[in-house]
A and B are shown apart, each in its own frame.
Chain A
Amino acid sequence: DAGVTQSPTHLIKTRGQQVTLRCSPKSGHDTVSWYQQALGQGPQFIFQYYEEEERQRGNFPDRFSGHQFPNYSSELNVNALLLGDSALYLCASSLGAQYSQHFGDGTRLSIL
């Protein structure tokens, strides 16, 4: 039973570029949440997708956007990258709002 999978594992970009990160939820899960974890800090909630719609959003600018596909997989897009966007981006999946969130291993994004 595959857990939450994320791709790519590592990514290097330069300031001003755009990036797309991908997430496949754990089998049977239909809700995907994205978190940003800066070095030495706890994860910060970006947004959550359910039934292909953004259900809840954290305190992140509009440069951060997302999408959920009919197969429940999800993408996180970040435009106009800043040095401060360097972080580990974590995807978590759950079965609706009824069960605990399970995390993938994340995508390490470095901005030069």
Chain B
Amino acid sequence: GEDVEQSLFLSVREGDSSVINCTYTDSSSTYLYWYKQEPGAGLQLLTYIFSNMDMKQDQRLTVLLNKKDKHLSLRIADTQTGDSAIYFCAETKEYGNKLVFGAGTILRVKS
């Protein structure tokens, strides 16, 4: 079945690293995504990883994938107040096909 779970809330201090975790149940997931949603806005694609990769780095963002445990994480280095938002993990079986989202993790960055 399809199920994506995330922790609900994370609070960090400005300048620290943030790690947002996600677990999924569908072993046939092909692509896994991280989206960011700011208040009153739509979803902004941050990064994605293909299921045959273990890690992907993009500037301050690092994605780690443990396919055996079906665990995905997003690390944000040097977290800034502008990073405060809701972060969604999503999976899909085919590139561009329907996305299955978690409930989102609220990231609060304290200055």
Is there contact, CB below 8 Å, between A101 and B96? yes
Q: Which residues of B contact A56 (CB under 8 A)?
A: 97-98
User: Do the beta carbons of A103 and B95 come within 8 Å of each other?
Assistant: no
Interface residue SS majority, chain A: loop
Name the CB-closest residue of A to B96. A97
Give Cα A31 to B96, complex, Å. 9
Q: Which of A41, A48, A96, A106 touches B98 (beta carbons < 8 Å)? A: A48
A sample of 25 cross-chain residue pairs with beta-carbon separation below 8 angstroms, ordered by A number, consists of A4-B42, A31-B96, A40-B103, A41-B103, A42-B4, A42-B101, A42-B103, A42-B104, A43-B43, A44-B101, A45-B98, A45-B99, A56-B97, A90-B42, A90-B43, A92-B43, A92-B99, A94-B96, A97-B96, A98-B95, A98-B96, A99-B95, A99-B96, A105-B40, A105-B42
Interface size on A, residues (CB 8 A): 28
Given A40-B103, A42-B88, A45-B100: A102 and B45 interface contact (C-beta under 8 Å): yes
| Pair B42/A42 contact, Cβ less than 8 Å | no
Shortest distance in angstroms between B49's beta carbon and chain A's nearest beta carbon?
11
Interface size band for B:
20 to 34
Query: How far apart are A107's CB and chain B's nearest CB, in angstroms?
Result: 10
Are A103 and B103 neighbours in the complex by a CB distance under 8 Å? no
8 Å CB interface, B32-50 against A? 33, 35, 40-45, 48
Which chain A residues border B4 with CB–CB below 8 Å?
Answer: 42
